[in-house]
Chain A
Amino acid sequence: MSQLMKQHLLAAALVGLLTLLAAAPASAQVDLSGNWALLDFQNSLKAGPGPFPNSFQGIPINKDGRDAALSFDNESLSELQRECEPWMVHYVIQGPFGFRITSVVDNHVSGEVVGWTISGEVYDRLATTIWVDGRAPPPPQALHTWGGYTTGVWRGDTLVSTTTHIKDGALERVGVPSSNQEVFRMFITRHADLLTITGIIHDPIYLTAPYALAQVFQSTTTADPSTPAMHCAPELEDTRLASGYQIAAYLPGQNPAVMYMPQHYGIPLAAAMGGAQTMYPEYRKVLQKEYKPPTKYCTQYCCERGYAGQAAVCKTRN
């Protein structure tokens, strides 16, 4: 073989190898890193001003969950000992914020991405790291936290995460509880500049069926939507709680706002009390017999304010 031919072959092999390596991703992971702004057109009422009192429709709660929710007094959030409690890990698709995702790289041995961290929200939610290096979750008796412990695997371009070891807390801000048996699964899929997170909450203590939610985020380079975590210092918010560690709660049968949804939106009480049956389409037949649409034009939370550069549709959001 001539020297020239050897050079040609060597060059072809070298360039071919480099080209193919460049054409193929180094691993199966999609780059999720960056700032993600929330596109909240389906949860902003719940995430912003908060859910209406005793509105559990569409939540597959059981009797224990409902009883606990009906004992919930919103004032409890102002108790000094609770003021700084963050929401649970599932708040990532229920809260009013976007976030920053950063990769966690093993800089010491492999140099590979071993996890993805979703930043926290002020002091509302703790950061969550999804470990994708194949590690096993800790044993069942290990510490349970608000953020839980999360592992993940890539299924194509979808990161499938599973969170366990979550403390008792809130499934929804309306007082619906979540237990320390909860398993929270996320399917995180990037569609170009959009990120969809489908979250499935399993809770054998308070739910009779999985509670499925989804949220959409958009990549942004103009702003950091993830407000950095802040220190929270309890302070007196409600003078009625000034005497110290009171527990704000309603005794069974004494919740004064049980009829809020029937009175304000004509929703039958049985529907407002939730349960798995209320999230399936056939429940509309029950509603058709009992639902009475409001007779008056909307008076609160009617429409969005005008967006940047646009005329206001409503003077205020309320």
Chain B
Amino acid sequence: MKQLLRSAGRAGWLLSVGAWLWSPGPGAQAAAPPGNPAAKATPEEQTPRGFDLPGYWVSIVTQNWRFRMIVPGRGEYVEIPINLKAKQFADAWNPLTDEAAGKQCEAYGAAAIMRVPERLHVKWQDPRTLVVQTDSGMQTRLLNFAPAATEHAAPAPANESWQGYSVARWALHPAPPAFGGGAGAAKPQRQYGGMEVTTTDMLPGLLRKNGIPYSDKAQMSEFWEVNGEPDGDQWLTVTTKLHDPEYLQTDYYFTSIFLKEPDGSKWDPTPCSLTQ
């Protein structure tokens, strides 16, 4: 029996390592076993099943309408966990001063852009980079995928920008490992999943067009999910967590909902404005 247990120990260690290599953990980058051609698959090729992001999307503004569709009145700060410093900043803020200073896109930065009423145009710039363009404010977000779990995404730019630097990764739902693998083995289906995006290196900006600020210390985490309905409607929900030690008392969570459109016929590029 002791011999059996010793054997089991050795064999178990080897097989455990094999199984660990084989089964992606929650949120893991899509990885394939060494030697498998899928190991060299690009992020574009690894797109989760059902996650049909490229195309045109329109904001559906059903929540926080009064703070998104119009420029909210002065002092309307409810539903954002601002601190006293942020309130003082917003109370003193003047849109005309900032527009004159060329900062009219400060309300279209990465921390606010997904809640701007807008259309998105999403496409792959290259197999490792998703481009998200907006017609409102004419902004461009680059979502940089790391080539593999052990490598890094493209290096962050030296300077901060409105859209900052975003690193994306697929969050795949763990699936049972495929047994067999011989000639008769069924081709494994792509896994369902979503996309996680972390954004840093943002210029200081505004969460609302009445002066509520976020700082260049802010860090943003997003979860993108695409869900389909039986009638063919495709819904994109982006869940955002904003951490800003300078202007927020707690992390700020919100969602942005988009509906997929068949084409770009309603695409309407409009420049940034702090007063409209």
* Cβ contact of B136, chosen from A39, A187, A281, cutoff 8 A: A281
Q: Are B19 and A297 in contact (CB under 8 A)?
A: no
CB of B171 to closest CB in A, whole Å: 7
Interface membership of A71, Cβ < 8 A: no
Cα distance, A234 to B192, chains bound together (Å):
48
User: In this complex, what residue of A is CB-closest to B3?
Assistant: A7
**Contact of A227 with B by CB under 8 A:** no
Q: Determine if B46 is an interface residue (Cβ-Cβ < 8 Å).
A: no
A160 within 8 A of B: yes
- Complex CA gap A238/B27 in Å reads 53
The smallest C-beta distance from B113 to any residue of chain A, in angstroms, reads 13
Cα distance A215–B63 when bound, in Å? 10
Cβ 8 A contact of A213, one of B7, B63, B119, B193: B63
Interface mask (B47-81 → A, CB under 8 Å = 1, otherwise 0) = 01110000000111111111001111111111111
- A30 — which chain B residues lie within 8 A by C-beta? 173
Query: Is there contact, CB below 8 Å, between A303 and B82?
Result: yes
Q: Which residues of the partner chain B approach A283 to less than 8 Å between Cβ atoms?
A: 69, 117
Q: Which residues, 191 to 207 on A, are CB-close (under 8 Å) to B? A: 191-192, 194, 196, 198, 200
Please provide the chain B residues from 187 to 202 with a CB less than 8 Å away from any CB of chain A in the complex.
191-194, 196
Q: Which residues of B contact A291 (CB under 8 A)?
A: 70-71
Contact B62 A23 (CB under 8 A): no
Is B96's beta carbon under 8 Å from chain A? no
The total of Cβ contacts below 8 Å across the A-B interface reads 243
Chain B residues whose CB sits within 8 angstroms of the CB of A40 once the complex forms:
79
Digitize B1-30: 1 where CB-to-A-CB distance is under 8 Å, 0 elsewhere.
001110110011001100110110011000
> Could you give, for residues 288-318 of chain A, a 1 whenever the CB lies within 8 Å of some chain B CB and a 0 otherwise?
1001011011100111101100111110010
Nearest-neighbor residue (CB-CB) of B273 within chain A: A288
Q: In the complex, are the beta carbons of B84 and A311 less than 8 A apart?
A: yes
Complex formed: what's the CA distance from A198 to B254 in Å?
Answer: 12
Please, which residue of chain B has its CB at the minimum distance from the CB of A311? B84
Min CB gap A40→B, angstroms: 8
Looking at the assembled complex, report how far the CB atom of B154 sits from the nearest CB atom of chain A, in whole angstroms: 24
Is A41's CB under 8 angstroms from B239's CB?
A: no
Q: B237 — nearest CB in chain A belongs to which residue?
A: A198
Q: Is the C-beta of B249 less than 8 angstroms from some C-beta in chain A?
A: yes
CB distance from B123 to the nearest CB of A (A): 20
Interface residues of A in 256-279 (CB under 8 A from B): 265-267, 271, 278-279
Residue of A nearest to B19 (CB): A23
B94 interface residue (CB < 8 Å to A): no
B4 touches A282 (CB 8 A): no
**Distance (Å) between the CB of A163 and the closest chain B CB?**
14
Q: Across the interface, which residues of A come within 8 angstroms of B191, CB to CB?
A: 156
A202 CB, nearest partner CB in chain B, Å: 9
Contact between B227 and A11 (Cβ–Cβ < 8 Å)?
A: no
Q: Is the CB of A304 within 8 A of B7?
A: no
Q: Give every chain B residue within 8 A of A158 (Cβ-Cβ).
A: 192, 225, 227
**B151 at the binding interface (Cβ < 8 Å):** no
Question: Which of the listed residues A16, A215, A266, A267 has the most CB atoms from chain B within 10 Å of its own CB?
Answer: A16
**Cβ A307 vs Cβ B249 within 8 A:** yes
| New A-B pairs, 20, CB < 8 Å, besides A28-B175, A196-B239 | A8-B11, A11-B4, A15-B15, A16-B12, A16-B15, A28-B173, A58-B63, A157-B192, A158-B192, A160-B227, A187-B227, A187-B237, A189-B223, A192-B26, A194-B241, A212-B60, A212-B235, A214-B257, A278-B69, A283-B117
A-B contact pairs, 6 of them (CB 8 A): A194-B239, A213-B257, A279-B60, A303-B87, A313-B87, A317-B78
Report which A residues bind B (CB closer than 8 A): 4, 7-8, 10-12, 14-16, 19-20, 22-25, 28, 30, 39-45, 57-59, 155-158, 160, 185, 187, 189, 191-192, 194, 196, 198, 200, 210-216, 218, 265-267, 271, 278-284, 287-288, 291, 293-294, 296-298, 301-304, 306-307, 310-314, 317
Show the binding face of B for A, using Cβ within 8 Å: 3-5, 7-8, 11-12, 15-16, 19-20, 22-23, 26-27, 48-50, 58-66, 69-84, 86-87, 117-119, 135-136, 171, 173-177, 179, 191-194, 196, 223, 225, 227, 229, 233, 235, 237, 239, 241, 249-250, 252-255, 257, 259, 266, 268, 276
